[in-house]
Amino acid sequence: MKDLIDDMLKRPAQQSMDGLNEIQFGIVFLLWGGIGIALELWGAGLPEWARWSWLALLLATVFLTTVITRRLRARWVHPRIGYVKWAPPIVGTPVVAFILGGVLAFLTIVALTQSSQFRSSLPVFLGLLFAAGNFAWWMRLKIRRLLVYTLLTLASGLVVGWTLPAWLGYKVVMCFVSVFYLVGGLIALRHLMRQPLATEDQP
C-alpha cells in the first residue's frame, strides 16, 4: 500500500517532467534566440514589418508544439505512468500561462534594452531569470535535473555577459538555454520510453 501511495504521489512530477515540455520549450527558445541572432547579424536591410513578422512564426510554433506534445504524451507517457488530472492552474490553461510568461519576458527584455543602465547586463539578467524559474520548479517537484538547469542557465548568463556584447549576448543565452532543455528533455523522454507499459505484466 505504501508503494502504491508513493507511486501516485510521484505521478504528477513524472508527467510534468517527462521531457516533452522541456523539448517544447527548447524548440521555442531556440527559434526565438536563433531568429534574433540572425536578425541582428544579417537583418539590417529588412523592412521593419519583416523584422517583427517572426513573432507570428513564434506563436505558430508554440501552438503546433503544444498540440504535438499533448498527442505524444497521450501516446507515450499515459500508457506508462497513467493519466494525471491536474487541478485548475492559477492563470488559465498551461498554454495561456506559457504565452503570458513569454510575453512578460519579452516586454521585460524590451524595456531593459531601452535603458542604457541595464542594457549591458541583459545576458546576466536573462540567465538569472531562467535560473530562478528552474529553481522554483525544483522547489516544487524536487527533480534533480532542474537544479542542473539552474546552474547551467546561471553560468551561461554570466559567461556570455562577460564575453559578448549585450545586444547579441542575451540571444545567445536564449540559445544555450534551449540546448539545455532539449538535451535534458530528450534524455528524460528516452529514460521514460524504456519503462514498460502499465498494461504489461511487471516482473
CB 150 within 8 A of CB 5: no
141, burial (CB in 10 Å: exposed 0-12, middle 13-18, buried 19+): middle
pLDDT for residue 7? 44
Residue 139 corresponds to which cell in the numbers above?
A: 522547489
For cell 504535438, the residue is 68
Contact residues for 144 (Cβ-Cβ < 8 A; gap 6+): 138
Average pLDDT for residues 120-127, to the nearest whole number? Answer: 85
pLDDT single digits (tens) 6-64: 444 444 444 557 899 899 999 999 999 999 899 888 887 888 777 778 888 988 999 99
pLDDT single digits (tens) 146-184: 999 999 999 999 999 999 998 899 899 999 999 999 999
- Domain-by-domain residue ranges, the chain? 18-81+88-193
pLDDT at position 5 over 60:
no
Apex CA 94: angle with CA 91 and CA 96, to 5°? 65
- Counting residues of the chain whose pLDDT is more than 90, the rounded percentage is 37
